[in-house]
C-alpha cells in the first residue's frame, strides 16, 4: 500500500509511458525520410547547402556590435532566471538552518580531531618547552 503512494507512481505515469512510445514512433518516422546510403550525392549536396547556410548565420552574428551582444546576454540571463523555481521563505529558512547546522557539526568534528592529533604528536615527540 505504501509503495503506491511514492512520488511519481500514480495513475499519471501511464500517460508518461504513452508519450515515450509516441516519441519513439516519431523518431522512426524521421529515419524513414533519410536516404539509405549516407555516401550518396544527395546527402553531399544537402550537407553543402547546410554548411553554406551556417556560414551565413556565422557572418551575420559577427556583425552584432558589442552593446548588442551585451544586451542579448542580459536578455538571456533574465529569460533563464524566469525558469528558476525559487524556494518559499519557509523552505529557504529550513535549508539555511540545515546548512548552518551541518557546517557547525563538521567544524566541531574537525576541531576535535585537530586538537586530538596535536596532543598526540606532542605526546609522541615530547614537548620541547
What are 55-103's pLDDT values in tens digits?
555 555 568 889 999 999 999 999 999 999 999 999 999 999 999 999 9
CA angle 47, 55, 60 (to 5 degrees): 145
Joined grid coordinates for residue 3:
509503495
* Distances in whole angstroms, Cα of residue 44 to Cα of each of 36, 48, 53, 103: 13, 6, 14, 60
47 and 99 belong to one structural domain: no
Please check whether residue 95 is in contact with residue 87, taking contact to mean a CB–CB distance below 8 angstroms. yes
The DSSP call for residue 87 is P
Label residue 126 by pLDDT band (50, 70, 90).
confident
Q: How many domains does the chain have?
A: 2
pLDDT of the residue at 63: 80
121 and 60 belong to one structural domain: no
The DSSP call for residue 34 is S
97 and 54 belong to one structural domain: no
Count of Cβ atoms closer than 10 Å to residue 46 Cβ: 13
* Final residue in a domain of this structure, among 84, 103, 119: 84
21 and 68 belong to one structural domain: yes
User: Can you say whether residue 126 is alpha, beta or left, with left for phi > 0 and alpha for psi between -120 and 50 degrees?
Assistant: left
72 and 119 belong to one structural domain: no
Mean pLDDT of 14-33: 51
17 and 80 belong to one structural domain: yes
**Average pLDDT over all residues of the chain:** 74
79 and 127 belong to one structural domain: no
48 and 96 belong to one structural domain: no
Q: Tell whether 5 is covered by a domain.
A: no
The model scores a pTM over 0.85? no
Query: For residue 54, what are the domain limits?
Result: 11-84
Amino acid at each position: 500500500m505504501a509503495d503506491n503512494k511514492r512520488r511519481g507512481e500514480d495513475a499519471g505515469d501511464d500517460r508518461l509511458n504513452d508519450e515515450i512510445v509516441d516519441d519513439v514512433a516519431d523518431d522512426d518516422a524521421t529515419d524513414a525520410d533519410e536516404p539509405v546510403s549516407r555516401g550518396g550525392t544527395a546527402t553531399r549536396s544537402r550537407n553543402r547547402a547546410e554548411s553554406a547556410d551556417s556560414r551565413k548565420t556565422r557572418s551575420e552574428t559577427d556583425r552584432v556590435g558589442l552593446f548588442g551582444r551585451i544586451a542579448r546576454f542580459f536578455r538571456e540571463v533574465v529569460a533563464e532566471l524566469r525558469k528558476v523555481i525559487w524556494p518559499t521563505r519557509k523552505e529557504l529558512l529550513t535549508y539555511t538552518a540545515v546548512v548552518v547546522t551541518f557546517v557547525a557539526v563538521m567544524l566541531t568534528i574537525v576541531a576535535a580531531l585537530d586538537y586530538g592529533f596535536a596532543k598526540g604528536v606532542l605526546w609522541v615527540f615530547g614537548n620541547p618547552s
